[in-house]
Each structure stands twice: as C-alpha cells, then as structure tokens.
Structure 1
Amino acid sequence: MVGLAGLASRFLPPLLLMGAIFFLSAQPGLNSGLGVWDTVLRKLAHMIEFGLLWLLWWRALGYGSPLPAIAIALAYAASDELHQTFVPDRAGSPVDWAIDAAGVGLAGAAVALWSRLAPERAPRFGAPRDSAPV
C-alpha cells in the first residue's frame, strides 16, 4: 500500500507543472524581444513542457498504459489554449494545441526508443505497476 508520501512523490510533480503552465499562460503578452526566435523558442518550450507533463502523469499513474496520461496531457493542453483566450494579449489556437500534442507524441517516441536501446533501465509501456523504475 502506498502511503501519503508515496502519493505526493508521484502526483505532486505533474500537478506542480500544471500549476506552472497555468501561471505562465495567465501572463499577458509575454515577449522576449527575440523576434522570430521568440516564436520558435516558445513553441519548443510548449512541446517540452507538455511532453514532460505526459511523462510525469505516466509515472504518477504507475507506468501502465500510456493512454490515460496522454488523455490528461492533451485535455490540459486544450484547457490551456482555452484559458489563453481570456488573457489580454494572448490567444488560444488549435495550432498551438497541435504543437503541444506533438510534444506528447515526441516524448512517447523518446521513451519507446529508450526502451529499445536500454530495456533494462527504461520504463515500458504497459509495464506492471510494481516493476517500473520510479
């Protein structure tokens, strides 16, 4: 049986990341002044943060099927885009959601590749909850 500390160590990281995403999305008109690089870096950051969000939820849910964690990450990406429509100088976009979804997909591909290259160290899709590394 998992105690409170175990639950916190599994569920707190994805919840904290979700809070950070919400906080950053609530900031009106963030701009680094880097021109086109600002857009590129921002989109890359979104891919990384939503890929990480999937990975953290997959870990929190015990490394079983990746589908529940994918659903959570994609639903949160959609809610993030909706949230941005209410923030001054921000706009939610289906294209931005697709970029977030690509980050989830790339994170999944990276885990699949890691599983093939280092199967003894990598978590496996559908692995029993007690056999996956934490």
Structure 2
Amino acid sequence: MIFVASGRGQVAVPPVINIDKITHFAVFGLLGTLIARTQRPGRWWVGILLASLYGLVDEWRQSFTPGRSVEVADWVADTLGALTAVLIYTHWKRYRLLLEKNLWRSRPAPVAKS
C-alpha cells in the first residue's frame, strides 16, 4: 500500500492541515508494529529501524516521481509513528493482547457417527 501510494503523482487527501504527516505517522506506526510482531522477544527495535529505513528510502524514491517532493518532515513522521506504535505494542500488554486476539473462533472437530 505504501509503495503504490508513494509512486503516484498525486494522492487524494482531505483539506486538513498536516493530514499528510498524520497519515505518515499512522501508516508507519502500523508497519513498525507488524515488523516488530515478527521478531523474537527483545528485538522489537527492528520494527522501528526497518520502518524508519523504509520511510527514508520511500522519500528518496519519491524524488523520481513527477508531482511528488521529498520532505524530511515526512520521514520524521514515519520514524516517530513507528517508534510510538512499537513502544505501545511492546509495553502495553492489553493493547498487545487486543492486536493478537483471534477474531475467528475455531470450530470443534466434527464427531464421527458410528
């Protein structure tokens, strides 16, 4: 989703001040959390690092896209979003359990009739 959106010349956004920074913060927070969830315990920082690096590379990539610009503030929003979300995920147990809750109940195995 990030790759596709950043490759477009224009992205439709509502007329809200700094909505792009809020979007960067939220989306890269999600990305950082998803990466952190794949790591062994104690390696949560990998989610922050990889999300931040992807944000940096993504900003560089946008410099080649007509109609887009490179903004350090976008990368800062990416990194802060990843940092905030990953720290909340790793230090707030109720939030972590909510994210990891199984949404579909497993059905009991059918009983064979004899």
Using structure 1 for the length normalisation, give the TM-score: 0.64
Q: Does structure 2 retain, via aligned residues, the 8 Å contact 1:114–1:122?
A: no
What's the counterpart of residue 10 of structure 2? 29
Q: Does structure 2 retain, via aligned residues, the 8 Å contact 1:58–1:64?
A: no
Among 77, 81, 87, the residue aligned to 2:59: 81
Change (3 A) 1:133 1:63: farther
* Distance in 1 of aligned mates of 2:101 and 2:38: 12
* Distance in 2 of aligned mates of 1:120 and 1:30: 32
SS at match of 2:5: helix
What's the counterpart of residue 110 of structure 2? none
Q: Structure 1 runs of 4+ off > 6 angstroms? A: none
Is residue 71 of structure 2 the alignment partner of residue 93 of structure 1?
A: yes
Using structure 2 for the length normalisation, give the TM-score: 0.73
Unmatched segments (≥5 aa) in structure 1: 1-19, 124-131
Unmatched segments (≥5 aa) in structure 2: 103-114
* Distance in 2 of aligned mates of 1:21 and 1:81: 11
* Distance in 1 of aligned mates of 2:13 and 2:98: 36
Q: How many aligned positions are there?
A: 102
Rg comparison, structure with higher value: 2
1:61-108 CA distance string (max 9 Å, x none): 234321222211111010010011111110111111001111012213
SS at match of 1:92: coil
Please tell me the root mean square deviation across aligned C-alpha atoms, in Å: 2.8
